[in-house]
Structure 1
Amino acid sequence: MDVKSMLDHVLAPFRGQRSDKLHHGQMGTAEEFAALVTPADIVAARIPLDPADVPESLRVLLPLAWYWGICDDAIRDVVEETATEEEKLEFANAVSPYNAEIRDWLDSCPVDGTMSDAAAAFMYMQLSLANMGLYREEDEAE
């Protein structure tokens, strides 16, 4: 599935809806926050990724990291919850053969808070897999 199709799928449930804005420091349940997420919030949560910041062997996953690698928990939850089971499995099957390599790359990143946006997106992409119970290493994928 291409990035535009993935985005169209995520935004479909929200078309024609308006919601209150999320406010910094606002308290509430995950469900309350999810109800406030707008299509614009989803688009704004996605970070442009520079392929030069990603090991060459992992660049094939850039569209998936852009789509699923959202750092905001509430927005990532909405993306996960609106995906079909088929989309989730397609995502897991595409990324799983690379999980060990991604993990090794992320483990090599500085621990001083200077992780690149691309590395963060890959980390949150793997978190998305874990949240959906779909994270597995290559040897587990077979």
Structure 2
Amino acid sequence: MAHRPFHEMSGGQRQLVIFARALVAEADIIILDEPTSALDLKNQELILRWIHKLSREEGLTIIFTTHHPHHAHAVAKETLLMFGHDDYICGKVDDVLTETNLKRLYGVNLRQIDIDNQGEILKTIVPVYTGFHR
């Protein structure tokens, strides 16, 4: 992609380039606005792995927005849910990303589930869409 003009890249390719540019800036704090949008699952994982690595191993402060609470569960230590101008909850991921808080935020039923991944218990959030006929 190094030789392709930015305007000729797909949305996902642009997103990866923007993320790479943020990394080479060598800032102490990186603020990312939906860094996984327009990315397929493989590249979402790539970005989340980098966010985790840079924050845990390099001590970099990373703030990112997302509409995917399972992404915050995967890499964040703390999270902020904004319901309105003066209505928000901030704290540890497990305390904030509850089914009740997320239902209030999104207006849909969600379930937090624990997954055993080779002996490590991982938490994730999934929407539960009901009322559809097959």
Question: Whose relative contact order is higher, 1 or 2, with alpha carbons under 8 Å and at least 6 apart?
Answer: 1
| TM norm structure 1 | 0.27
More strand by share: 2
The structure with the greater share of residues assigned to helix is: 1
TM-score by length of 2: 0.28
Higher alpha-carbon Rg: 2
